[in-house]
Amino acid sequence: MTTDALFQEILMARQRVYAVGDPTPLEQLPIAAYDFEVWAKREDLGPIKAYKWRGAYNAMASLTGEQRAKGIVAASAGNHAQGVALAARSLGCKAEIFMPLSTPEVKQSEVRRHGGDAVTIRLEGDSYDDAGISAREYCDSKGAVYIHPYNDLATMGGQGTLADEIVMSADKPFDRVYIAIGGGGLASSVGCWLKKFWPECKIIGVEGVGQASMKAAIENGGPTELEYLDVFCDGTAVRKVGENTYSYCKDLLDEIITVTNDEVCQAVRKIWETIRAIPEPSGAMGLAAIMQDAEAGKIKPGERVLTIICGANMDFAQLANISRRAGIGSKHRKYLRVPIPEGKGSLVSILKDLPDAVSIVDLQYGKTESEVQYPVMGLIGSEEDYQKIDEMLAQNNVTAADVSKEDIVGYRIINYKTDPQKHPLFVNVEFPERPGAFLEFMEHVKEVSSLCYFNYAYSGERVGRALVGMEFDNLQDQTAARKIINNMVGENIHAVSLVSDETLRRLLGN
């Protein structure tokens, strides 16, 4: 299959797709740290908040009325399903859309909103692949027409119309274009069109580290099924690319870059900070690769680079996870488990010695029967900052363990033994989210108590909240601490309240 055939499909698609959607804009991302221009194609502003409407509508509009009357079938975890639903309603045909059982309700409701009575959702299997198998079987039994999300020429032709808009609206060629790859339909069509008009432009495919099926196909000489598929970037989670898309991508792509989920989260944050848009993880993969190349010095000063924000259909609940994993600029998040001796002020001493540029965004600690305690600190800093921390700890004969990828962090597991505690006192503390504010509280109480429990995570609010447990040698010290705490509210502490025994039992499960 030649690029000429795909080019002609894109030409034909230009006459169809704008019946249901308008061209999307190009927008420059004002990233002051870069000496090159970064632009975004805003597919998140399309009729379904993703580019998939283009391919779905073109594929269905190119069918005859008789073919559409047989029924349309599609399998999708989200965006393609919405595109098919929009097209079915516009073209006056019926569509059966197969989605995994795990599909969030928000995506199902969007399919119903776009399709109305024209669509029926069938939930089948635990993955897109399972839903796809069921959809194919249904197609065969009913004689319906299957609309493939990426491997069909007409689908790719519709997706390529966004590349036509790029050429038409850009005042001069881009030097580099970064394209997220799932099945490869978008990369194929955009690469085909841009190489025709801007032959010097580098077309760079971007895949997640745990879902690099196109990279595997090119390395192995053909589509290769991945044994494991990471679905964090669910819009690009394809276990095996198509024969057609593989054929195009191996010839059109200049390079494939893989990005981590944390790099994607950082890119989501950067898009929010620059243009106040929130893409789905797959929609930020292109910028994640740009940021990776920028850090490696691969992008020359003055170059013009483009990413495609290919979608913004994300389950709202995923935002919390993305925020937790995102860094700030060149800084990134790391979780360290630091051994400290039991006793008054041990944790405070470690916190006070951290470099000023490091932000504490998480602290998990529960006292156990061991003489050495192991609090987990979540930090945001640069590699230079972390090197300083290692040096500081080494001077104190302490070796920290990086537990960023361990379950204790992901599930916030805080081990705590109630039996050894003699006279514990638990308080809720509310303090302004600025450096030094919480250490003020710690300094006040460290002389009369040692910590036995600590649970704090940065929430993005102007105030921070922590559950703090202290233990005392005797009731007199506990009483003295209560008086200190009652007088503590002021500039650095907004509020302190005692935790009732009943609430404490619920919180700690004792």
Burial class (CB in 10 A: 0-12, 13-18, 19+), 319: middle
pLDDT band for position 269 (cuts 50, 70, 90): very high
CA distance 310 to 42: 7
Token digits of residue 95? 């569509």
Which among 295, 307, 203 is positioned nearest to 255, based on CA atoms? 203
| Mean local confidence (pLDDT), 466-486 | 83
Q: Helix 475-486 vs helix 437-445: angle between axes, to the nearest 10 degrees?
A: 150
CA distance 178 to 286: 5
| CB distance 76 to 99 below 8 Å | yes
Task: Tell me whether the CATH fold assigned to 3-50+155-325 matches the one assigned to 56-151.
Answer: yes
Q: Residue 343: its pLDDT value, please?
A: 66
Q: Residue 126: its pLDDT value, please?
A: 79
Fold of 332-508: Biosynthetic Threonine Deaminase; domain 3 (3.40.1020)
Summarize pLDDT for 249-261 with one digit per residue, the tens: 999 999 999 999 9
Token digits of residue 447? 């002389």
3-50+155-325 under CATH 3.40.50.1100, yes or no: yes
Which SS3 state, helix, strand or coil, does residue 299 take? coil
Per cent of the chain over pLDDT 70 is: 95
Which SS3 state, helix, strand or coil, does residue 182 take? coil
Q: Residue 332: its pLDDT value, please?
A: 81
Least confident of 22-26, 197-201, 398-402: 398-402
Residue 179 parent element (H or E): strand 176-180
The 10 Å Cβ neighbour count of residue 431 is 22
Burial class (CB in 10 A: 0-12, 13-18, 19+), 102: middle
pLDDT beyond 60 at 510: no
Question: What phi-psi label fits residue 465: left (phi over 0), alpha (psi between -120 and 50 degrees) or beta?
Answer: beta
Which among 119, 26, 104, 18 is positioned nearest to 306, based on CA atoms? 26
Tell me the HSE value of 341 on the side-chain side, using a 13 A CA sphere. Answer: 6
Q: Residue 328: its pLDDT value, please?
A: 66
The side-by-side arrangement of strands in the sheet containing 145-146 is: 119-123, 95-99, 72-75, 145-146
Quickly tell me which residue has 């945001």 as its tokens.
380
User: Phi and psi of 80, rounded to 5°?
Assistant: -65, -35
Q: Residue 217: its pLDDT value, please?
A: 97
Q: Helix 79-91 vs helix 52-61: angle between axes, to the nearest 10 degrees?
A: 40
Residue 317 sits at the vertex; the CA angle it makes with 73 and 260, to the nearest 5 degrees, is 85
Token digits of residue 297? 């010095």
CA distance 264 to 31: 16
| CA R_g for the chain | 27
| CB distance 131 to 75 below 8 Å | yes
| CB distance 378 to 405 below 8 Å | no
Fold of 56-151: Rossmann fold (3.40.50)
How confident is the prediction for the chain on average, in pLDDT? 89
pLDDT band for position 370 (cuts 50, 70, 90): confident
| CB distance 180 to 206 below 8 Å | yes
Summarize pLDDT for 36-67 with one digit per residue, the tens: 999 999 999 999 999 999 999 999 999 999 99
More confident residue, 227 or 105: 227
Which SS3 state, helix, strand or coil, does residue 317 take? coil
Residue 4 parent element (H or E): helix 3-13
- The residue extents of the domains of the chain are 3-50+155-325, 56-151, 332-508
pLDDT band for position 486 (cuts 50, 70, 90): confident
Quickly tell me which residue has 């990426």 as its tokens.
150
Which SS3 state, helix, strand or coil, does residue 494 take? coil
User: What is the per-residue DSSP string for 94-120?
Assistant: -EEEEE-TT--HHHHHHHHHHHGGGEE
Question: What phi-psi label fits residue 125: left (phi over 0), alpha (psi between -120 and 50 degrees) or beta?
Answer: left
Token digits of residue 417? 């033994």
Burial class (CB in 10 A: 0-12, 13-18, 19+), 17: buried
| CB distance 118 to 94 below 8 Å | yes
Summarize pLDDT for 421-439 with one digit per residue, the tens: 677 888 888 888 776 777 7
The 10 Å Cβ neighbour count of residue 486 is 10
| CB distance 300 to 36 below 8 Å | yes
**How many angstroms from the chain centroid is the CA of residue 453?**
31
pLDDT band for position 353 (cuts 50, 70, 90): confident
CA distance 379 to 441: 19
Q: Residue 215: its pLDDT value, please?
A: 98
Token digits of residue 432? 């302004």
Q: Which residue type does 462 have?
A: R
Q: What is the 3-state secondary structure (H, E, C) of 395-426?
A: HCCCCCEECCCCHHHHCCCCCCCCCCCCCCEE
pLDDT band for position 139 (cuts 50, 70, 90): very high
User: What is the per-residue DSSP string for 425-475?
Assistant: EEEEEEEESSTTHHHHHHHHHTTT-EEEEEEEE--SSSEEEEEEEEE-SSH
Which among 202, 195, 194 is positioned nearest to 170, based on CA atoms? 194
| CB distance 146 to 71 below 8 Å | no
